[in-house]
Structure 1
């Protein structure tokens, strides 16, 4: 049995954080240094691949993933407006609920924006920061390709089968061109995502509204002292690599890791590089 396969899994639970309940699960020794994974817009905790989480935990961490507000099994807020600051405070509140003073924070896409905002608002709660396929909110940086927008205009899926096929079409465009794509796994996770949150589109719109209302974080990021790695795929059509360059330039001492052929996803073939980059960064903070 591999070290990753032997990592204990702690099933989903709910944590009450202010006005929302957040669904989370965890991998690894509860007494190990904590690592919090924050997923992107409209995505759920299950979109952090389980094997990827196990491999991170096998490096000596307690890895926690969770559904953001308005996603998955966490509280949905129809008719409400909120900000990235609110979402960052959710993540800090989850650390409180877990009895964790500080954690290594890893965020992807919108999750990277939330992670950056956590580090700005709550620097003592962030041991290290990994910002994946994201942007500092600087105008003109990290733009989405016009080829992607037609998918946003499609009608919402009404059945599980429609949800699966739509996700396959989307990731044929925004997924990694330089790595094999596991379509069976993509379909499996898409079916599970539809089961967990069949009305995800409304929540995704409210999350997107929070992104659009967020200010440019560049100047605030200049003040960070947390060890940071910025990871971005060179084939990302959802968030142009200029977003990664701008993030790394904004944060003093940040290391930029560009992954050739990686798009706006987490292909298995890129995991060794991603995990090593994250581990090296936690090491800069005395991570293990």
Structure 2
């Protein structure tokens, strides 16, 4: 089911819903140049997978992409709709979670799950450590010139995992990335923010999931998050890249369902 929500400033956000209607609420926040479609359908909880502004079916705005308060407000709109929920952030989605916590705290948060996630961005930010695949994609993947951007984005999508990504998945991810305007893709990287102080203040159960073979977001980013959030649990997925929920779907589904059950309805 596809739902449309309006933020306080009138921005339309598209949200994909799946899973049992009365199950616990889980908000799944996707990464850079992707959409809520990247998440597998939920079975044991009610999932809300928003498309971030500028992505997927959500509105594309001229600006605001560098502002922490903007991302916080968008996620607050989703939580106003879902009620208290477990927040799951994959890749750039982890940074959006820290944006939300910076401005709104944890009152509406049952728990946090960081999946292959960054929690900071900019030079020397420990929560923003990137791997070879991400570094090689930039700056070409941000170009307005399709002859430059398309090959870079294709290589980036195809290198998400240490093994071969199925062609149909690569094409789907590439198509999603190309729907995001180049200026939006650029703006998301023109931020400089450290989430360390936000992570230190987290007072909700937190699970950090990361593939040991992730070459998009370096495992050092996960180590930083796990060491900074009080009581966080670190769970490594051996020989897994940047897509734990696709590479090990049964294990990820079981881990997430157990975490949601632990933190309560």
The separation in 2 between residues aligned to 1:88 and 1:76, in whole angstroms, is 17
Aligned-residue CA RMSD (Å): 2.5
Question: Residues 222-273 of structure 1, C-alpha deviation per residue, up to 9 Å, x if partnerless?
Answer: 2222111001111122211010011011111111011112222346331122
Structure 1 pair 80–44 and aligned structure 2 pair: CA distance change class (3 A)? same
Name stretches of at least 5 consecutive residues in structure 2 with no aligned partner: none
Task: Kindly indicate whether the alpha-carbon contact (under 8 Å) linking 1:24 and 1:66 is maintained by their aligned counterparts in 2.
Answer: yes
The separation in 2 between residues aligned to 1:13 and 1:22, in whole angstroms, is 8
Of 14, 30, 33, which aligns to 2:4?
14
Shift of 1:189: 4.4
Structure 2 SS opposite 1:248: helix
What is the match of residue 224 of structure 2? 246
Task: Kindly indicate whether the alpha-carbon contact (under 8 Å) linking 1:180 and 1:267 is maintained by their aligned counterparts in 2.
Answer: no
Shift of 1:104: 1.1
Alignment of 1:76-95 (within 5 A): 76-80=60-64, 82-95=66-79
Task: Kindly indicate whether the alpha-carbon contact (under 8 Å) linking 1:176 and 1:235 is maintained by their aligned counterparts in 2.
Answer: yes
How many residue pairs were aligned? 257
Of 258, 262, 265, which aligns to 1:284?
262
What is the match of residue 176 of structure 1? 161
Of 112, 119, 133, which aligns to 2:116?
133
Shift of 1:81: 5.0
Question: Residues 50-104 of structure 1, C-alpha deviation per residue, up to 9 Å, x if partnerless?
Answer: xx22xxx212x111111111212212222445423321221111222x2x32111
Shift of 1:204: 1.6
The separation in 2 between residues aligned to 1:71 and 1:180, in whole angstroms, is 26
The separation in 2 between residues aligned to 1:181 and 1:146, in whole angstroms, is 17
Structure 2 SS opposite 1:239: coil
Of 256, 260, 265, which aligns to 2:234?
256
Alignment of 1:103 with 2:85, yes or no, is yes
Name stretches of at least 5 consecutive residues in structure 1 with no aligned partner: 1-9
Q: TM-score, normalised by structure 1?
A: 0.79
